[in-house]
Amino acid sequence: MIKRLEEIKLGSEKLLNDAKSLKDIEELRIKYLGKKGELTELLKSMGALSAEERPKMGKLVNELREHLENAVSVHTERLKEAALNERILLEKIDVTMPGEKIRPLGHKHPITLVIDAIKDIFMGMGYEIAEGPDIELDYYNFEALNIPENHPAKDEQDTFYVDGGFVLRSQTSSVQVRTMETHELPIRIIAPGRVFRSDEVDATHSPVFHQLEGLVIDENITMSDLKGVLNVFAKALLGENTEVRFRPHHFQFTEPSAEMDVSCFVCGGKGCRTCKQTGWIELLGCGMVHPRVLEMSGIDPKKYSGFAFGMGLERIAMQRFNIPDLRLMYENDVRFLKQF
C-alpha cells in the first residue's frame, strides 16, 4: 500500500508539472481526488489494514491529499493569471505608436499635370476655364462649327453617335459655341476635356483622349494677337528658347487656319528621332474664328473678331514625361502613375 501511495505521488507530480491548461488540472483532480479517484480508492481500501497500521497509513494518505488539493488550487490560480496577462498584453494599445498608413494618398495623372500647367499659363493671362458636356448635341460638335450634315470634314472625326441627335464629342471646339452663346463679351477662355473618336487602340491612338481648346473674342482681335499669345504660351510651357512657326492649314470653323509647330524640345531644332529629323514638332491647330461661326452663335462679325486654338494633351504628356505608349496612361497601374 505504501508502494501504491508512492506511485500516486510520483504520477500526480509529473502530471502537475506537465499541466498547461485549466482543463489538464481538472482532469488531474478527477483522476486522483474525484469520487472514484485513485487516492479516494486508496482511502477506501484501508479497511483491510490492521488497526495498528491504519492510522499511520491514514495520516500519509491525508497528507498527500492535502498536498494535492493545495497544488491543484495553486496551479489553477497561476494558469488563470497567465491567461489574463496574455489577454491584457494582446489587447493593449500603445497610444504613442505612430499611426498605420492604410490608404496611401493618390497622385495626379500625367494628363492632369499637363492640364494644370497649361491652366496656370492661361489663367496668368486672364483666361477663364470653361466646360461642356462629353455627350454633346451634334449641333455643337459639328453644325455650329460650320461642319454641316454630309460635309466630308465630318468623316475626319468619326465619332460615336447616340440616339436623339447626340454624339460623344469629337473635339473640345464644341465648348467654343456653348461659350459664345452664353458668355458676355469679351471672351477669353480655355476648355480642357475628354473627347472621343472611333479609332483603334494602339501606341498613339485611343478612342478616348483629351484636348484643350482656347477662344478669344473681342473687338479688333487679329492674327497677330493669336501669334503673340501662342508664342508666349509655347515658351512658358516648353522653355524660353522655344521657337514657333505657323503653317497654313484648313479647319471648317476658322479662316484663315494654321497649325503651329514648336522647335523640337529634345534636340533644340537640330533634328532627332523625336522630331523625325525635321527640328519641329506639331503642337496645335488654330485660326481666326470664321465669321459664319460667330454669326450662328449670335455675335456680330462686323463688330467682333476672335481666334481659337485646340491641342491634343496626350502627346504633350508623352513627350513631357517620356512615356513611350499611350495605353500606359489608361491602364491605371499605380506603379506607372507613381512616377510622375
Closest to ligand DAH by CB, 171 or 297:
171
Asked if residue 305 binds ligand DAH (CB under 6 A), the reply is no
Binding characters for ligand DAH, 310-329, by CB under 6 A (x = yes): x-------------------
Helix and strand numbers (H, E) in the chain are 11, 10
Asked if residue 309 binds ligand DAH (CB under 6 A), the reply is yes
Only segment of 5-13, 266-274, 281-289, 327-335 that touches ligand DAH (CB under 6 A): 281-289
Q: Which of 37, 132, 193, 287 binds ligand DAH (CB under 6 A)?
A: 287
Q: Are 282 and 302 in contact (CB under 8 A)?
A: no
Closest to ligand DAH by CB, 146 or 171:
171
β-pairing, 135-137 with 128-129? unpaired
Burial class of residue 334, CB neighbours in 10 A (0-12, 13-18, 19+): exposed
C-alpha cell at 93: 494599445
Only segment of 32-40, 41-49, 64-72, 307-315 that touches ligand DAH (CB under 6 A): 307-315
Asked if residue 12 binds ligand DAH (CB under 6 A), the reply is no
Number of residues binding to ligand DAH, judged by CB under 6 A: 11
Q: How far is the CB of 252 from ligand DAH (least distance, A)?
A: 9
Contacts for 285 with CB less than 8 Å, ≥ 6 apart: 249, 251, 257, 258, 259, 260, 309, 310, 311
CA 292 from chain centre, in angstroms, equals: 44
Q: How far is the CB of 330 from ligand DAH (least distance, A)?
A: 19
Among candidate residues 176, 120, 180, 108, the one with its CA nearest the CA of residue 339: 108
The H or E element that residue 330 is part of is none
Q: How far is the CB of 284 from ligand DAH (least distance, A)?
A: 7
Q: Are 37 and 30 in contact (CB under 8 A)?
A: yes
Closest to ligand DAH by CB, 229 or 308:
308
| Residues pairing with 186 in the sheet | none
Residues 239-278 that bind ligand DAH (CB under 6 A): 251, 254
The SS3 assignment for 54 reads: helix
Closest to ligand DAH by CB, 242 or 257:
257
Among candidate residues 182, 191, 242, 196, the one with its CA nearest the CA of residue 212: 191
User: Hey, what amino acid is at 44?
Assistant: K
Residue with cell 473681342: 218
β-pairing, 254-263 with 244-249? antiparallel
Among candidate residues 291, 334, 311, the one with its CA nearest the CA of residue 114: 311
Q: How far is the CB of 286 from ligand DAH (least distance, A)?
A: 5
Q: How far is the CB of 254 from ligand DAH (least distance, A)?
A: 4
Q: Which of 141, 146, 171, 305 binds ligand DAH (CB under 6 A)?
A: 171
Asked if residue 132 binds ligand DAH (CB under 6 A), the reply is no
Binding characters for ligand DAH, 173-202, by CB under 6 A (x = yes): x-----------------------------
Q: Which of 32, 130, 167, 213 binds ligand DAH (CB under 6 A)?
A: 213
Which residues contribute to the site for ligand DAH (CB under 6 A)?
171, 173, 213, 251, 254, 285-287, 308-310
